[in-house]
Amino acid sequence: MTMSSCSESKGWFEEDEGEGGDTLAPSRPGRSSPAVEQLLEEVEAETDPSGRLTVGGLRGKAAIVTGGSTGIGRAVAMALARSGVHVAFNYLNEGEASLLDADRTASELEAQGVRVFRKAVDCTDSAGVTRFVEEATEALGGLHILVNNAGIGRDRALWHMTDEDWHAVLDTNLSGAFYFLRAMAPRFRAQEYGKVVNISSVHALSSEFGLANYAASKSGLLALTRSAAVELGPFNVNVNAVAPGYIRTTQLTERVPSENLDRARERSPLGRLGDPQDVAGAVLFLCSEAARHITGVVLPVDGGYLL
């Protein structure tokens, strides 16, 4: 699609004060509002040489993706980098394998021509999170996007769930997201711009056995999303969440029995599990100017699992 065909299409609408009162009619050449014209310019700037349309308004921005070295976090970081976003990510230092994952992801991000900052930081360490945000801001020249992706699960029946099982999951999945959001909120307010996407889960919206701690953490993340959207909205900050279903990652296959995955696949109208790139696409949209009037919502990325 070329920009000329886009501007001449019947997809843009505006108010028409005709004989029948205020109605909606297709816009005509020369009658586009300034907001529409600005959006068209942003879209044109984000159209690649082949003419394929990509999301607008991301090139040159800087993002933090928590837990960005593997799985969904890595896919999100790569999608942002391919859109011209400089990326910082943290990871949990659990030995040589985690260091190798971080090195590999950083190299692949740098290959996209963007600046990259990485550091081993535990999301449950409030002071460490604050330092990481400060260092990432300096390394990338600013921060505009936060993707709270880091999360863990310790699944078991609630009568077998220990205090440590409960607190570890809540501290990582919910408190960690809060620490990052709190650390970045002053920057977002000062620059009057920000995009926040919290990675929740379908288990925040649907109950399953053995997930009391995980579901509570992800449900809390949705409440945090709504509250932050209300508080940060006046500063031109969008705060949204995505709720992935069963997404094929190493963590999923290690945690979930194969028969459960088969049932999830059968329950989906699409008849398949998701891939990390499916979640990354939703995050990319919510970070873009295409979603500039969307805030406080949760977008399921579940192949229809919740239907």
Active site residues: 214
Residue type, 190: A
CA distances from 139 to 70, 88, 89, 132, 292 (A): 22, 9, 12, 10, 26
Alpha-helical regions (H) of 159-257? 163-170, 176-191, 212-232, 250-255
How far is the C-alpha of 14 from the C-alpha of 261, rounded, in Å?
47
211, HSE (Cβ side, Cα atoms, 13 Å): 18
CB atoms within 10 A of CB 290: 20
55/49 Cα distance (integer angstroms): 14
Q: What is the C-alpha to C-alpha distance for residues 52 and 138, in angstroms, rounded to an integer?
A: 34
